[in-house]
Amino acid sequence: NAGVTQTPKFQVLKTGQSMTLQCAQDMNHEYMSWYRQDPGMGLRLIHYSVGAGITDQGEVPNGYNVSRSTTEDFPLRLLSAAPSQTSVYFCASRGQGIRNEKLFFGSGTQLSVL
Amino acid sequence: ILNVEQSPQSLHVQEGDSTNFTCSFPSSNFYALHWYRWETAKSPEALFVMTLNGDEKKKGRISATLNTKEGYSYLYIKGSQPEDSATYLCAFTEGGKLIFGQGTELSVKP
């Protein structure tokens, strides 16, 4: 029973490097999302998807790309990392069938951009 | 993007104290209001998802109420314990996505 799996757990990048944060869920959830967590700011939505082939921007989308080619996977791409992207990133998913569906979170990725 | 506000930002209480936090959200087009508990070095975990005006949910010593007409929800903790120390987040569903407040950080001293 894996739930939401995020990789890697830790990553250090140099400014300008690119990388992809992976997120996979095995619960057949339609909704998947990426959040970043910064001190004193709670969780801010980066991008989200309500199904395969459908993505949309959240509160802080600049500098990030996403795609949703399958129901299970929702990778987050940093095309040219900047120090402002140093943060903890969480992937989360939920079903869309009923109103009281809760979010399930991955274990987080701690990213440092030097 | 709508605004979800939580207060207070942080709270320090003694073991045994009861406490409560507030989450404010837009009252129009209400769909659902979530509460999550987030311990340090862990991932957030759902406490409650509330969908109806007047809803009251309870889980052990933690309970929550919902007023969709005026746009607020209260989370109550009765007889706080050190293990209740965590950040408590509320989230509002808007257009299919969940927007979080900035959280209330609770510290319970023995």
User: Å from B55 to nearest chain A CA?
Assistant: 12
Mean per-residue pLDDT for A46-51? 95
Q: pLDDT tens for residues B66-75? A: 999 999 999 9
Q: In which band, very low, low, confident or very high, does the pLDDT at A82 lie, cut at 50, 70 and 90?
A: very high
Q: Which residues of chain B have pLDDT under 70?
A: 1-2
Q: How far is CA B74 from CA A77, A83, B53, B56, in A?
A: 37, 37, 13, 10
Q: pLDDT tens for residues A88-109? A: 999 999 987 767 789 999 999 9
Give chain B positions within 8 Å (CB) of A103: 34, 36, 44, 46, 91, 98
pLDDT at A42 over 70: yes
CB contact (8 A) between residue B99 and residue A59 = yes
Instruction: Assess B1–A contact: CB distance below 8 Å, yes or no.
Output: yes
CB contact (8 A) between residue B49 and residue A100 = yes
| Minimum Cα–Cα distance from B97: chain A residue | A48
Mean per-residue pLDDT for A52-57? 95
| Minimum Cα–Cα distance from A41: chain B residue | B102
CB contact (8 A) between residue A56 and residue B49 = no
**Cα A30 from Cα A94, distance rounded (Å):** 7
Exposure b/e, B15-37, CB count within 10 A at least 16 = b: eeeebebebbbeeeebebbbbbb
pLDDT at residue number B96: 79
Q: Average pLDDT of chain A?
A: 93
**Cα B42 from Cα B19, distance rounded (Å):** 23
pLDDT at residue number B2: 64
pLDDT at residue number B93: 87
Q: Which amino acid is at A42?
A: G
CB contact (8 A) between residue B102 and residue A99 = no
pLDDT at A1 over 70: no
pLDDT at residue number B95: 77
